[in-house]
Amino acid sequence: MEQPQPFRKKKIVSDKNLSLSRKIRGYAILAKGDMPIAVSEEEFLIPSQSSDKKYKVTNISGWNCECQDFQNRHSDCKHIHAIKLWIKLRAKPEIEELEIDTNEEKCICCNSLNIVKNGSRKTAIENKQRFKCKDCSKRFVLDPVKRIKGNGKIVTLAMDLYFKGLSLRDISDTLYQFYNLRVHFDTIRRWISKYTQIMGNYTKDFKSELSDKWHVDEQMIKSKKDYIWCWNV
C-alpha cells in the first residue's frame, strides 16, 4: 500500500536533517584535531569519538564505514563526512609558474636579449628557471618579485585576500591549506606594507582624465543644534 503523502514528506525532511547532523558532527571531528590516517588511496582510519578504537573507511566502489551507524543506515556517517572534508582540504593545487612573455626575456643586468636557459635554482618550495646572458655572462632568474618566499602570484593572492577583508592569520592559513606554503602572518603584513607603497608611488604620477562636468552629492549633518552641510564631489 502506498504511504500517505504527508508521511512521505516528513520522512524526507527527517532524512535531510539526519544527513546534515552527521555532516556537522563529521566536521567537528576535524575541528577537534582528530585527523584521519591514509592507509592507501582508498582506505582510511579515523579515531572513534567514544573510545580508543579506529574505524576503517573505504572508498572502492562506494563509501563504506565499519561504524554501526553506517551498517544500519547504509548512508554517509560522520566518519565518511570527515574523510571527505579532509581529502578536500588536502587537495593542494599546484602553484602556477609566472608566465613571462618571451619578448620580455632579457638580461636584468645589461638588458640584452641574447640569453639562454642555464639550469634551475632550487628554492624552499620550487625550482626556478635560471638564465645566462651571452653578452655579460651574468646568471639570473626572471622573477619580478625578488627575495620573496613563493612567487609573484602568492604575493598578489595574499594582497587580494587582505583587501577583501581576510585577517593576516586567515591569509596565512589559506596559503598553507591550498599551497602547502607556511608563511608567518607578520611576513604577509610586510608584503602588504611594502607593495602598497610601491603601487602608491607608481600611481601617484597618473593624471585622471576627467570631463568638464562634476557630480556633487550633499549631506546634511546635525551637530548639536546646528546643521552642517557636507559636499562630496
Residue with more model confidence, 18 or 60 = 60
Angle (deg, nearest 10), helices 168-179 and 185-203: 100
Domain range annotation of the chain: 5-90, 97-143, 146-203
Q: 3-class DSSP state for residue 73? A: helix
Q: What is the pLDDT of residues 195-228, one digit of tens each?
A: 888 777 777 776 767 777 777 888 888 777 788 8
Query: Grid coordinates standing for 213?
Result: 562636468
Q: In the chain, pLDDT over 70 holds for what percent of residues?
A: 79
Residue with more model confidence, 124 or 74 = 74
Q: What is the pLDDT of residues 88-114, one digit of tens each?
A: 877 654 444 434 343 457 887 888 888
In contact, 80 and 114? CB cutoff 8 Å: no
| Average pLDDT value for residue range 53-73 | 90
Residue with more model confidence, 143 or 39 = 39
H/E run at residue 46:
strand 43-47
Secondary structure (DSSP) of 195-229: HHHHHHHHHTT------S----EEEEEEETTEEEE
Question: Which conformational region is residue 64 in: left (phi greater than 0), alpha (psi within -120 to 50 degrees), or beta?
Answer: beta
Torsion of CA 23, 78, 17, 70, to 10 degrees: 140
Is 43 a residue whose pLDDT tops 80? yes
Of the listed ranges 126-130, 163-167, 168-172, the one predicted with least confidence: 126-130
Of the listed ranges 30-39, 92-101, 158-167, the one predicted with least confidence: 92-101
Q: Which residues contact residue 104 at a Cβ distance below 8 angstroms, ignoring those fewer than 6 apart?
A: none
